[in-house]
């Protein structure tokens, strides 16, 4: 999910619920952040924030300006 408003870009990325997810996203997170920065030059992006849904134990990564 990508939400672009006047002052903020929010990106939600659902990640697989496996042991390999952390390894996979450590490899890709720099590339993902770089791509969003390249396409949205008016914004500065934070580091990824990992949030766990308490109801279903699913993990999502947020990238926020």
Taking CB atoms within 8 Å and a gap of at least 24, the contacts of 24-33 are: 25/61, 29/61, 32/63, 33/63
pLDDT at position 56, please?
Answer: 54
pLDDT at position 44, please?
Answer: 73
pLDDT at position 20, please?
Answer: 76
Asked if 61 and 17 count as a contact pair (C-beta separation under 8 A), the reply is: no
Per-residue pLDDT for the chain (65 aa), expressed as one digit of tens each? 666 676 777 777 776 667 777 777 778 878 887 887 787 777 777 776 666 665 655 555 555 54
């Amino acid at each position: 999910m990508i939400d672009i408003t006047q002052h903020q870009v929010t990106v939600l990325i659902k990640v697989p619920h496996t042991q390999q997810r952390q390894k996979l996203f450590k490899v890709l997170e720099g590339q993902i952040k770089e791509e969003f920065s390249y396409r949205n030059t008016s914004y500065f992006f934070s580091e990824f924030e990992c949030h766990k849904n308490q109801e279903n134990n699913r993990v999502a990564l947020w990238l926020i300006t």
